[in-house]
Amino acid sequence: MLHLLADQSPEPRPQAYAEAVSRLASVRHALRLVHTLGDGPSPDLPEEDRAIASAWDKAGDARQRSFDQRSAKLVGATAAGLEAMLAMRETGGRPHPEASKFLVDQIRRELADVARVVLD
């Protein structure tokens, strides 16, 4: 006889805020690499990290999961952009300064959007 039971395993919990904030810090570190490769600006925003950390527990599970998903996509997109710039360097080229600036500006917009998921 076949018995079907509902899955009783709990849903995975979102990552702790320290890891989530660390993910955004790695993206800002990537901005410093873009600056080195293509002359784009790259300041850090540690006060935003503190704001996210203090708002994390109040954000709720849905926002924490959304933050996790969106920040994972941002990390992937940032890595792809850097890989493209590095590939150009490996072939003897130099990334166009406007392309570097565009990449930096796009990453900054995405960083702000991801942070707002928890902060708003």
Task: Write the pLDDT tens digit of every residue in 25-74.
Answer: 788 777 776 665 554 544 555 677 778 878 888 888 899 889 888 988 88
Rounded to two decimals, the pTM is 0.69
Give a yes or no: residue 97 inside a domain: yes
The number of distinct structural domains making up the chain is 1
Least confident of 1-10, 16-25, 79-88: 1-10
Mean pLDDT value across the chain: 76
Domain that holds residue 94: 17-119
Three-class secondary structure assignment of 36-55: HHHCCCCCCCHHHHHHHHHH
Is 7 inside any structural domain?
A: no
C-alpha dist (Å) from residue 42 to 30, 35, 99: 9, 6, 15
Residue 8 lies in a domain: no
- For residues 101-120, average pLDDT: 87
Listed residue (102, 106, 86) closest to 94, CA to CA: 86
- Check residues 7 and 118 and name the one with the higher pLDDT: 118
